[in-house]
Copies of this chain bind each other. A is one copy, B any other.
Amino acid sequence: MSFPFTAKNVSLSKGPDPKTSIQVERDAQKLNPQAMQYFLEGSKERAELIKSLTQQMERDPILWTDGSYYDMDKEQLRKFTALKINRVARYLEGDSIDVFQRRLSLIGVFDPAVGTRIGVNLGLFISCIRGNGTYDQLKYWALDKFTAHIRGIYGCFGMTELAHGSNVMGIETTATFDKANDEFVINTPHIGATKWWIGGAAHSATHCTVYARLIVDDEDYGVKTFVVPLRDSNHDLMPGVTVGDIGAKMGRDGIDNGWIQFSSVRIPRFFMLQKFCKVSREGEVILPPLEQLSYSALLGGRVMMVLDSYRMLARVATIALRYAIGRRQFKGDNVDPDDEEALETQLLDYPLHQKRLFPYLAAAYVVSAGALKVERTIEETLLLLDDAVDEGDDVGIMKSIDAMKSLFIDSGSLKSTCTWLAAEAIDQCRQACGGHGYSGYNGFGRAYNDWVVQCTWEGDNNVLGINIGKPLVKHIIAIEDDGKVVKGSSDFLNQLKEYTGSGASKVVLNNAKDITDLKTFIKSLEVAIIRLSYETGKTVRKENFDFVGAELVNISKLKAHHYLLSEYVRRIDEHDDASVKPYLYDLGRVYAATVVLDRFAGIYLTFNVASTSAITDLAKVVIPQLCKQVRPNVVGLTDSFQMSDMMINAAIGRYDGDIYENYFDLVKTLNPPAKDKAPYSAALEAMLNRPTIDERERFEKTIEAGEILSK
């Protein structure tokens, strides 16, 4: 609001016409959204698959989701979630694993609770068995018992406890071997060891993969995994199992997260998952050297979250950008002040608005490439490992372990960086839609509430950041001290000497041109990581790793940006459709300039990675120029995500851009203007029509009463 506001310069206008604004821009698009979609999904085939799966779900009477979803309370969401899972299970019976993973990823966009509940069963529960069980155990629990078809068994994942989350080593549930009966006794020793947050436990799950300390002959062998039945085939709770609903959550109300206490629950010895640890009939514990792989159950989830981040970024960027094209507010500097008939300025024509939103549009594109790559990598790595273990191939096993370590770093830094970025995107895109962003029907509120748990679960983002930063700093120390040579995705660290010591003053980004040259920019990330890790290493030598937690998290973020941008550029370079490349490169530059450099300017300047004049150019030249280039293509670049109106599920974000009519129509449909008063109107009316305070006080405090009572 400007100061002062006299209204002379705004004439009485006809109603707003946002639909035309978007249509005019759509008609002017030169880029082919279909061609772009092939890039985003990795191939034409995959893009077509996505399209057909979306169509199936949109037409399915049970899976179909619309604005009424935002009016559902917890009980309704629980009920509809169960119906939807039942429905999805029918598709699952005909899907290949790859098709089903696509399907689940798409469901996660428009109903994340359904996605999670299935993911806990088929992702975490089965992954835990796959990671920790023998091949026969996996076959038995997943296939023979039909769990993989969500039939017979419904699994949940019992890792976290009330008092232990990130520190899985510290878990306190016990599994004590009872030699006499050849059983394990599962027990919750105290309140802190209550299994907590267990998705599906409250009402649904029949079995749980329980992380518990193996105790044999009073000796503690550390945390192992066990399949523990919770409910029988009549869905009644097993004796000794206490389960409760965890109640109100910030989001994901469709999930029946629960707590579990075990009171001396007995399971047969063969319910222990024993790929890496066996207990013999006589109580002998056999611990092979491969134990470190037992957390691999979480890796798949982390990788999926990178893909989720891409879709969430695409979704919220689409909503906010479509709104910003239709919405007009004030007559900006692009309007001739003498033109009384001129329309107000489209939000998206304000440079600040572009600077606020384009980073998330660019991030969707850049993250899409990294998501595909890390997904491919985990599939390959797990297959190789399984083969090596099956064949007892020790060299293959060690090689797979190296690959797993690299994947641990890449997936961890990507999971934390991308889920944070998506959370920020939801929040910022909401704010960019002003008051209408706060409406439930425009999707941001539910999206945020459902999303942000991704920053915490399956590896808290800060803890992950530390655990990714730490090995990189250790690498740097080892390179300096022992001349170690680093392999894999962090091999750029080997340039340590070139960029520290006498090379510490080498500037990588000297000007605007350096910033927009993506290969130079990727190099700048390498140098930033090297120098920050090197400085951090120096501090670690004096203090300790806990002391540099904040730096480790920053290193992890920079590492993720390096991975993402490198893969993005690689993908563009090798892409066979030249027509989309200029747009893609520009988005990569926007990402580099805004998501990376603008936020890490302090580090870039402190460590001479960028010159002061490069940072000045960034704000004055690079970002404005890039925004100007991207602006005309926004409709095409968002249409390229090919998210249907159902996937978007936001009244102001629909394809036709008719923001006000769509929104008002939905509000009126779901909340018909009342012909009656509100149910609580009586209380209000009683308040408004109450007698005066004197009357209600029986005139006991009036002057007259005072005279009588003072006599």
Q: Which residue of B lies closest to A614 (CB)?
A: B606
Identify A445's interface contact among B15, B250, B351, CB under 8 A: B250
Q: Once the chains bind, are A15 and B246 in contact (CB under 8 Å)?
A: no
CB distance from A417 to the nearest CB of B (A): 14
A223 to B674, CA, bound (A): 29
Contacts of A59 in B (CB 8 A): none
| A169 interface residue per 8 A CB criterion | yes
A157 to B213, CA, bound (A): 61
| A11 interface residue per 8 A CB criterion | yes
Q: Once the chains bind, are A160 and B435 in contact (CB under 8 Å)?
A: yes
| A192 interface residue per 8 A CB criterion | yes
CB distance from A490 to the nearest CB of B (A): 14
| A165 interface residue per 8 A CB criterion | yes
Q: Mark A131-166, 1 if CB is under 8 A from B, else 0.
A: 000000000000000000111111000001011111
Q: Once the chains bind, are B678 and A256 in contact (CB under 8 Å)?
A: yes
| A43 interface residue per 8 A CB criterion | no
Contacts of A249 in B (CB 8 A): 438-440, 445
The complex is assembled from copies of this chain, and their number is: 2
| A96 interface residue per 8 A CB criterion | no
| A285 interface residue per 8 A CB criterion | no
A590 to B204, CA, bound (A): 48
Contact A82 B684, CB 8 Å, known A434-B460, A620-B539: yes
A688 to B344, CA, bound (A): 58
Contacts of A3 in B (CB 8 A): 292, 405, 408, 467, 471
| A243 interface residue per 8 A CB criterion | yes
Contacts of A427 in B (CB 8 A): 452
A591-629 contacts to B, CB under 8 A, are 598, 601-602, 605-606, 612, 615-616, 619-620, 624
Q: Mark A202-213, 1 if CB is under 8 A from B, else 0.
A: 111010000001
Q: Mark A103-144, 1 if CB is under 8 A from B, else 0.
A: 000000000000000000000000000000000000000000
A451-486 contacts to B, CB under 8 A, are 452-453, 455-457, 459-463, 466-467, 471
Contact A7 B222, CB 8 Å, known A86-B686, A189-B15, A679-B79: yes
Q: Mark A324-358, 1 if CB is under 8 A from B, else 0.
A: 00011110111000000000100000111101100
Q: Once the chains bind, are B612 and A601 in contact (CB under 8 Å)?
A: no
Q: Once the chains bind, are A441 and B334 in contact (CB under 8 Å)?
A: no
Contacts of A246 in B (CB 8 A): 439, 667, 671
Q: Which residue of B lies closest to A434 (CB)?
A: B165
| A677 interface residue per 8 A CB criterion | yes
Contact A678 B86, CB 8 Å, known A2-B467, A12-B174: no
Identify A456's interface contact among B14, B222, B434, CB under 8 A: B434
Q: Which of A263-271, A541-549, A577-585, A703-711 contacts B (4 or more CB under 8 A)?
A: A541-549
Q: Once the chains bind, are B14 and A190 in contact (CB under 8 Å)?
A: yes
| A563 interface residue per 8 A CB criterion | no
Q: Once the chains bind, are B248 and A170 in contact (CB under 8 Å)?
A: no
Contacts of A7 in B (CB 8 A): 169, 171, 213, 220-223
Q: Which residue of B lies closest to A69 (CB)?
A: B248
A245 to B86, CA, bound (A): 34
CB distance from A173 to the nearest CB of B (A): 11
Q: Once the chains bind, are B15 and A235 in contact (CB under 8 Å)?
A: no
| A180 interface residue per 8 A CB criterion | no
Contacts of A223 in B (CB 8 A): 5, 7
Contacts of A661 in B (CB 8 A): 191
A250 to B152, CA, bound (A): 38
Contacts of A344 in B (CB 8 A): 167, 170
| A498 interface residue per 8 A CB criterion | no
Contacts of A446 in B (CB 8 A): 250
Contacts of A693 in B (CB 8 A): 93, 149
Q: Once the chains bind, are A449 and B445 in contact (CB under 8 Å)?
A: yes
A603 to B677, CA, bound (A): 56
Q: Mark A1-43, 1 if CB is under 8 A from B, else 0.
A: 1111111111111111000000000000000000000000000
Q: Once the chains bind, are B660 and A192 in contact (CB under 8 Å)?
A: yes
5 CB contacts below 8 A, A to B, read A8-B220, A16-B190, A191-B664, A242-B673, A435-B456
Q: A78-B680, A350-B549, A605-B605 are in contact. List 10 more A-B contacts (CB 8 A).
A: A3-B467, A4-B291, A7-B223, A15-B192, A71-B248, A73-B74, A75-B679, A85-B684, A166-B330, A535-B616
